[in-house]
Amino acid sequence: MATKAKISQLLAYGVGQIPISIKGYLFGAPIIYFYNDVLGLEAWWASLALAIAMVVDGFTDPILGYLSDYTKSRWGRRHPYIFLSIIPSALFFFLLLTVDQSDSQLALFIQLLTLTIGVRVAWTFYQVPREALGAEISKDYEQRNQLHGFNSMFGWIAGPTTAYLFLNALGDSYQNLSAYHALATWGALTIVIVGFFFAFTTAREIP
C-alpha cells in the first residue's frame, strides 16, 4: 500500500460514518420512545434488554477484532466482514421499529432483546473492521488527521439530520407510529446504500 492515499479514499472512509451515526441516534431516544410510549413496554424491561445487548456487544467486539486481524481473502482482512454486515444491519434496524404485534410484556422484552442483539452483533461486523481500516488507509500522519476529520464531519452531519427528519415526522406526539416506520425505512435504505458505497470505494485500494 502507498504511504499516502487519494483524497477520494479519505472522503469515502468518512462517508462510512453515516450509517454508524444513524444507528447511534436510534439507540438514543427513539428506541425508548417506541417501545415504552408506543408499544407499552415498561421502562425497566426496555432498559434491561438494552443493557444485556450491550454486554453481549462487549464480548463480540474483541472476538471480531481478532478474527479480522487474521483473515486472509481477496478482499483483504477487513472488507469481507464489512460487506457481510450491511444487509443484516439494515434488516435488524428496520425490524426494531416496525415489529409491533404483541401486547405481552415478556414478548415485547424478548423482541427488543433479540433485535437489539441482532443490530449490535451485525454492527460489530461493520464497525470493528472499519475502525481498524482507518489506520490502514494511509501511513501519513497528516492524512490520518484528515481522515478522522472527514469521519467526524460526516458523523456530525448525519446525526443532527437524522434527528431533524425524525422529530419533524413525529410532530406533537411521541406515539406517532408512522414516524417510527419512516425512520425505519429511510434509515435502513441509507445504511444499505451508503454502507455499500463505502465498502466498494475503499475495497479497491486496501489489500
Query: In this predicted structure, what is the pLDDT of residue 206?
Result: 63
Query: In this predicted structure, what is the pLDDT of residue 54?
Result: 94
pLDDT in tens, 183-192: 999 999 999 9
Mean pLDDT in residue range 16-45: 90
Q: Is the pLDDT of residue 69 over 80?
A: yes
0.85 surpassed by pTM: yes
We find that the CATH architecture of domain 7-203 is Up-down Bundle (1.20)
At residue 174's C-alpha, the angle toward residues 92 and 47, to 5°, is 55
**With the CA atoms of 150, 202, 199 and 31 taken in that order, what torsion angle do they form, in degrees rounded to the nearest 10?**
-20
Mean pLDDT in residue range 46-75: 91
**Residue bearing the bigger pLDDT, 83 or 9:** 83
The three three-digit cell numbers of residue 96, written as one number: 426494531
Position 122, amino acid: A
Mean pLDDT in residue range 90-105: 88
Q: Is the pLDDT of residue 140 over 80?
A: no
Q: Is the pLDDT of residue 65 over 70?
A: yes
Query: In this predicted structure, what is the pLDDT of residue 101?
Result: 66
Alpha carbon distances (Å) from 138 to 7, 45, 76, 152, 155: 10, 45, 15, 17, 20
Mean pLDDT in residue range 8-27: 89
Sign of CA pseudo-dihedral 74, 121, 187, 149: negative
Mean pLDDT in residue range 3-29: 86
Q: Is the pLDDT of residue 174 over 80?
A: no
What average pLDDT is seen over the chain?
A: 89
Please check whether residue 133 is in contact with residue 146, taking contact to mean a CB–CB distance below 8 angstroms. Answer: no
Alpha carbon distances (Å) from 98 to 105, 112, 185, 206: 17, 11, 9, 37
**Rounded distance between C-alpha atoms, residue 109 and residue 113, angstroms:** 6
Three-state DSSP at 68 gives helix
| Structural domain spans, the chain | 7-203
pLDDT in tens, 121-134: 999 999 999 988 88
Query: In this predicted structure, what is the pLDDT of residue 139?
Result: 78
**Residue bearing the bigger pLDDT, 175 or 178:** 178
Among the listed residues 159, 124, 115, the one whose alpha carbon sits nearest the alpha carbon of residue 26: 159
Mean pLDDT in residue range 160-167: 89
**Residue bearing the bigger pLDDT, 71 or 195:** 195
Query: In this predicted structure, what is the pLDDT of residue 176?
Result: 85
